[in-house]
Chain A
Amino acid sequence: MAETKTIFRFFTIADFEEEEKWLREQHRAGWKLTNAAVFLYTFERCAPEDVIYRLDYKNGEETEEYFQLFRDYGWEYFDQNAGWLYFRKPAAEAETESDGEIFSDGLSRVEMVQHVVKTRMLPLLVLFLCCVLPNMIRSIEGAIPFANFFSILFGILFVLYCYLITYCGVKLARLKKKYTEQ
């Protein structure tokens, strides 16, 4: 059996470009991704090769026709994780720069970002406003703030959510601006 390794790494919904780059570096170093599960990436030992990795966000809307089209374009589909589909193609097979891309205009990239915002960012925001924030306020208003386990938990969640929402919101907006100008 081939040697494997599992790496714990956190990429937010706004870090897909960084993730693609990181996976390409891993493959160049002789580690090919076999499975991505939320924070855990499993790699298998392989011959070092320059392979382009691309992520598309379809959130379960992918069809057999979709996969066939990507196959026709020379993309190997090998895994999916939380709505994201993972594709790769050896850089040697990409004759031009655009052969190494899954989107050829800014508009389709913007649409992908909008899809992420609508189905990932908004639910996160709703959860924050309807659950985390009210519970946070309640635990502050108590006689002794953060007196019990749950109020501490909501305090931590509150900070985490504030950070995630700000980080992803700002980054997705920046990506959208960049793609619009393409």
Chain B
Amino acid sequence: MDKRIQRIYVPMTESGFYILFCLQRPQHGYGIGQMVKTMTGGALTISAGTMYGTLSKMEADGLIAFVREEEKRKLYQITPLGEEILDLELQRIERLYQNSRGEIYHG
């Protein structure tokens, strides 16, 4: 994998993580926003400008790809590269979580 992409996205912002996580299924920007609101019990909201900016960047970097259009809304889905990044990020979070509980992380 491209080291540059890895450096940019691991670790990633909270918004970035949730967006990528939600795109394991095809979804549009507003739909992702609603999902995140529900998943986090309203603890995290992603505003329109932040959503648009993150989606554009992730698409340009090849982490997500456009799949189809529904009522003028573009639907995106994670790509194999995006999945690789998401896995790395999940491992990192897992390590943080285990360490925070006083456990040793074995990878």
Contacts and interface: CB of A to CB of B under 8 A. Distances in A.
Contacts of A112: 49
Contacts of A64: 72
Contact of A96 (B15, B45, B49): B45
Interface stretch (A3-11, A42-50, A69-77, A135-143): A69-77
Given A104-B47, A105-B50, A108-B49, A69 B15 contact: no
Contact of B42 (A68, A73, A96, A102): A96
Interface in A86-118: 96, 98-99, 101-105, 107-108, 111-112
Name A's interface SS. helix
Interface string A107-132: 11001100000000000000000000
A65 interface: yes
Interface string B3-19: 00000000001110000
Name B's interface SS. helix
Given A104-B15, A105-B13, A111-B53, A73 B48 contact: yes
Q: How large is the interface on B (under 10, 10 to 19, 20 to 34, 35 or more residues)?
A: 20 to 34
B82 interface: no
